[in-house]
Amino acid sequence: MKPINVGLLGIGTVGGGTFTVLKRNAEEITRRAGRPIQITVVADKNLELARTVTGGMCRLTDDAFAVVSDPEIDIVIELIGGYGIAKELVLKAIENGKHVVTANKALLATHGNEIFAAAQDKGVMVAFEAAVAGGIPIIKALREGLTANRIEWIAGIINGTTNFILSEMRDKGLPFETVLKEAQLLGYAEADPTFDVEGVDAAHKLTIMSAIAFGNSMNFDKVHIEGISKLDAADIKYAEQLGYRIKLLGITKRTAEGVELRVHPTLIPEKRLIANVEGAMNAVLVKGDAVGPTLYYGKGAGAEPTASAVIADLVDVTRMHTADPEHRVPHLAFQPGAMVDLPILPMSEVITSYYLRLRVEDKPGVLADITRILADQQISIDAMMQREPDEGEEQTDIIMLTHRTREKNVDAAISRIEALAVVKGKITRLRLEELL
């Protein structure tokens, strides 16, 4: 049978891994796809690198627009990244009637609504398994494996850099800045780690998963985002003493009032499986009404793990290449005409539990003043720990865990408590999820 011809845009880490795995497992992949899949042209500005990786086995060019306009190409793989030229290339490929496979979570989170609408109009597929959690097939699980379920919530460790940093901070008791430097030396963190450590990368991925889970539009601009750069090693230690681990989670929940869409450091009970995901690994926990909680774990980045997802998309597109567009799996799981526009809850309206750390003067009556303010805001305490001050020290830490309450109530309570003369400095506030 005639092979499917693929044009690869970008042959960096993931592109090189894709070329290597496709070549190595060609026979197996052909048996699964029903016809050979071959990369016939590679576009990259670094032609010398492209020549080294491909070994002269395909055509090379430094003009990506020539690839998306090539009438011989059936599928375009976009691995360039970013929002600018990548968006132009993807839209041009769609306009030319080509299917697209991409790992570009930033592009889809910010421009996915436009891209999927264009693909729908042209009757082509845009596949993006590699855009979320690397080699973990979470998109396929959400879009196909869990279609019988009403998805209730998703909570994911979806950035390996931050998970590595938090694991090292917990294991070694080191501050964030020290561990970040270690992560950079080991290649887990970029020279400019902002997108990772400030939660933006996780927010891109969460936006995509939320849209698939609830049949909603992409709403990246409405995600509440907090990173880990201001996280204190002391809070990791205190959380562990209380039986919790701190992870940077992407969380999306469907509630009666709207959809929660948030990324932030989160306390999780240490007995939960996801709390024990260490190093640079990823894990996504999905709660469906019929199936209950399901956990997906694996490598969230790297050449071959991500290539695994790219090639899985190639196989899917190849299988459905000649199918009537009406009978393909919809891009975001729900039929295009059945998509909804659910409101995204502002963070002030989110209901969850909280970890509060207060630095206070060590004197009688302090706790009574604090608990009175919490009671005024209808916040009840679930657990509390007070560190014994060192000899001669006049201040101490009080750590409180609250029952579930609305965020705006906690904001109001913090404002009042920080105004007390006996409270020193700012209160540390982290959110807590039981994930049941």
Catalytic residues: 205
Give the pair of three-digit tokens for residue 15: 């592109």
CB atoms within 10 A of CB 384: 15
Contact 40, 6 (CB under 8 A): yes
List all residues 6 or more positions away from 68 whose beta carbon is below 8 Å from its beta carbon.
7, 9, 76, 89, 92, 93, 96, 98
Nearest to 311 by CA among 32, 52, 58, 120: 32
- 3-state secondary structure (DSSP) of residue 271: coil
Query: How far, in Å, CA of 342 to CA of 338, rounded?
Result: 12
Nearest to 303 by CA among 37, 17, 10, 2: 17
Sheet strands (E) in 256-388: 258-269, 281-288, 292-299, 351-361, 381-386
Query: How far, in Å, CA of 212 to CA of 156, rounded?
Result: 14
Query: How far, in Å, CA of 139 to CA of 124, rounded?
Result: 18
- 3-state secondary structure (DSSP) of residue 380: coil
- The residues pairing with 252 across neighbouring beta strands, listed in sequence order, are 154, 261
| Dihedral of the alpha carbons of 222, 200, 251, 338, in degrees to the nearest 10 | 50
Angle between helices 366-376 and 407-418 (to 10 degrees): 150
Contact 91, 100 (CB under 8 A): no
Query: How far, in Å, CA of 397 to CA of 408, rounded?
Result: 24
Query: How far, in Å, CA of 82 to CA of 103, rounded?
Result: 10
- 3-state secondary structure (DSSP) of residue 290: coil
Single-letter amino acid code for the residue at 54: T
Q: How many residues does the chain have?
A: 436
